[in-house]
Amino acid sequence: MSRSAFLDKGILLGFCFTVDTHHRPCLKYLTQEGIEPYITEEIDAAFERNKSRLSTRYQEHILNHVSQLTKSNFEGEVGPMELRKIRKGLLDPGNNAFHFLEYYYREIAPNVTSVYELKNQLRDLARDIEQLSLDRKEEFDELVQEWERGGEYPDVEKALSEIEGEDMWVCIDAHDLAVNKENETELATTDPKDMVDNGREDLILKNTSISKIIDLAIKPADRWT
Amino acid sequence: MASDDEGQGDLHAPEYLAYRMLKSLNELDDSPISRSKFWKLCCLADRYVQNEFDHDIGFPRHWYKYGELGEAHSINRSILNAPSARFWQGQELYPDREIPDSDFDISSDEQMFILRAVERIVNRFGKDSVDEIKEHQYENHPPNEFIKAYSQLRAQFEVADLDRQALLPDFDRGGREQYIEDMLDEMVVSFPEEEYGEVHDLYLRWDDTMRMMLNDDADAVELKQFLDVFIERLSEITIRFRHSQHIPKSRLERWQEEKPIKKEKLETEIQQKREQYLNRREPSGVLNSVSEAFDETVVEDM
């Protein structure tokens, strides 16, 4: 028997913006047999908003770093000493991309031989990041269907009033889907804090037609393994 | 200021300069005069008055794209007759009528400065093409090195048919891609980050897109078009504000209102071009090599 799944926005983010960690469980969930995933109609706007906030921002930081490199005196061949100087002088710890750029300089950059190659790799990194989110969104769109809420549920709204803002409306949308589908409907989330923990799961299941909450958040123990 | 924003009002020194310039060009030969050439020569004449006679006649001008222009909406245009051009798209200009000097509200000193400047500029540049005048402007009066650098890149695209390898002397070393990359690097080095701060991020995305196009062997026509898109928007968002003089407040306010629209347009234009090239690109693998650290950052920011 197939079942419907309403996805909260975190599934989109995990699927489209991480290379592996969140992407993997989200992909596994969305492609399992018998599941019909649904998503809010505002999904494109949510994607664009988060693309600006995540991948475009990282890209800007990387390109800015490359431009600082072009303006600097570093040119020609690079060795460990030059790379150390670049890391120290041109990487800004306040920059959002700092953590993975640091990793890049530590683990990958030692294999490059010139500043020219270094800059090209960094540009490639910026382009890969943008390309990843665009490709993944295309893939995501093929896996999910949009659901437009038809009904109004003042009693459910009232019962869920302790859940703040957007998360409450995700529950209402999922409830609307459940009311209109003959099969069981579950709500998939990457946000256990607001949807599962501290009695939230019971509150939602008790007051809506949602049959189950699926927690796809990466637990600390699962991370980076 | 001589006129209101609709180009009406009394006749003052800026109108006298424009009128005299047009008359002199008209008397020089029978060739039709383009708006672009006319306004550029007016700027050169105004600069001559400022430099030679240390006098400011209040002529409204601003840098736009690849050269400096007189601000047509900020002077009384009743002196101009501007029918549709016969040999190009746009208009050609003629003096509207004979206007006696006494109709202009200017001092005899100003009159003399302007007549000398116009004579000098028409003698020197009157028979030059717009491109030659443009080149003179960005070689001699660029507001900054960045404008000079992008104007030189544009000139290279115009002069050399890069795809057929009809090369300029400098072009040979290292091939087409390396040559253009070097010119893009010159732009990066000279970009005035503080002054043009509001377009810095967009500029870096545009620059990276140009390089992506180059890697993908985009032809010279497409590269030139994408350069033109950026420079036109940059002019509308920043350059015409930063490098201008005597532009009336009402005109500046109108430009200011247009600014967010122009910025959004530029964002869209860059994004469309990036996606066009990203769509046919194979991922390089660099992101995969840092994926753990990258994902940690994304999860943190999510």
Contacts of A191 in chain B (CB under 8 A): none
**Same domain as A100, residue A70:** yes
**Same domain as A80, residue A190:** no
Those of residues 135-194 in A touching chain B at CB distance below 8 A are: 190
- Mutation target to probe the A interface, by most A beta carbons within 10 A, among B270, B290, B296 is B290
CB A125 to CB B191 under 8 A?
Answer: no
- Taking one residue from A and the other from B, the number of pairs with CB-CB distance under 8 angstroms is 117
Q: Which of A100, A130, A160 is the last residue of a domain?
A: A130
Q: Would you state the pLDDT for residue B68? A: 93
A135 belongs to a structural domain = no
Q: Are B22 and B80 in contact (CB under 8 A)?
A: yes
What whole-number percentage of chain B has pLDDT above 90?
Answer: 63
Q: Are B295 and A21 in contact (CB under 8 A)?
A: yes
Q: Would you state the pLDDT for residue B14? A: 95
A39 belongs to a structural domain = yes
Burial of A164 (0-12, 13-18, 19+ CB in 10 A): exposed
Domain CATH number, residue A153: 3.40.50
Those residues with Cβ within 8 angstroms of residue B169's Cβ, 6 or more apart along the chain or in another chain:
none
**Same domain as A125, residue A156:** no
**Same domain as A81, residue A22:** no
| B194 token code pair | 């503080």
For the ranges B14-18, B81-85, B247-251, B265-269, the lowest mean pLDDT is seen at B81-85
A137 belongs to a structural domain = no
Q: Would you state the pLDDT for residue B166? A: 52
CA distance B143 to chain A (A): 20
CB B291 to CB A20 under 8 A?
Answer: yes
Those residues with Cβ within 8 angstroms of residue A143's Cβ, 6 or more apart along the chain or in another chain:
A30, A31, A37
**Same domain as A147, residue A211:** yes
A179 belongs to a structural domain = yes
Domain count, chain A: 2
**If DSSP codes are grouped into helix, strand and coil, which group holds residue A55?**
helix
Those of residues 63-82 in A touching chain B at CB distance below 8 A are: 63-64, 66-67, 70-71
How large is the ipTM?
0.87
**Same domain as A211, residue A147:** yes
A38 belongs to a structural domain = yes
Query: Measured over all CA atoms, what is the biggest interatomic distance in chain A, rounded to whole angstroms?
Result: 69
**Same domain as A148, residue A47:** yes
Q: Which of A130, A156, A180 is the last residue of a domain?
A: A130
CB atoms within 10 A of CB B141: 16
Range list of H helices, chain B: 13-28, 35-53, 108-125, 130-140, 145-159, 175-190, 200-215, 220-234, 240-242, 249-279, 286-289, 291-301
pLDDT digits (tens, 9 = 90+) for B37-62: 999 999 999 999 999 999 999 999 99
3-state secondary structure A95-111: CCCHHHHHHHHHHHHHH
**Same domain as A71, residue A41:** no
- Give me Rg for the CA atoms of chain B: 23
CB atoms within 10 A of CB A103: 19
CA distance B198 to chain A (A): 13
Give the span between the Cα atoms of A91 and A105, in whole angstroms. Answer: 10
**Same domain as A109, residue A89:** yes
Q: Would you state the pLDDT for residue B178? A: 85
Q: Would you state the pLDDT for residue B46? A: 97
The residue segments making up the domain with residue A122 are: 60-130
**Same domain as A152, residue A47:** yes
A222 belongs to a structural domain = no
- Mutation target to probe the B interface, by most B beta carbons within 10 A, among A131, A218, A222 is A131
Q: Would you state the pLDDT for residue A190? A: 86
Contacts of A121 in chain B (CB under 8 A): 284, 286
pLDDT digits (tens, 9 = 90+) for B211-230: 999 999 888 889 999 999 99
A211 belongs to a structural domain = yes
pLDDT digits (tens, 9 = 90+) for B277-299: 999 999 999 999 999 999 999 98
Q: Would you state the pLDDT for residue B1? A: 43
A223 belongs to a structural domain = no
Q: Spell out, as residue ranges, where chain A has pLDDT lower than 70.
A: 1, 219-225
B84: left (phi over 0), alpha (psi -120 to 50) or beta: beta
CB-closest option in A63, A96, A131 to B208: A63
pTM of the prediction?
A: 0.86
| Predicted confidence (pLDDT) at residue B34 exceeds the cutoff of 70 | yes
Q: Which of A74, A99, A130 is the last residue of a domain?
A: A130
DSSP character at residue B70: E
CB B284 to CB A18 under 8 A?
Answer: no
CB A54 to CB B299 under 8 A?
Answer: no
| B191 token code pair | 């970009």
**Same domain as A158, residue A96:** no
Confidence at B4, pLDDT banded by 50, 70, 90: very low
B→A contacts (Cβ < 8 Å), by residue, are 185, 188-189, 191, 200-201, 204-205, 207-208, 211-212, 274-275, 278-279, 281, 283-302
Give the span between the Cα atoms of A82 and A88, in whole angstroms. Answer: 10
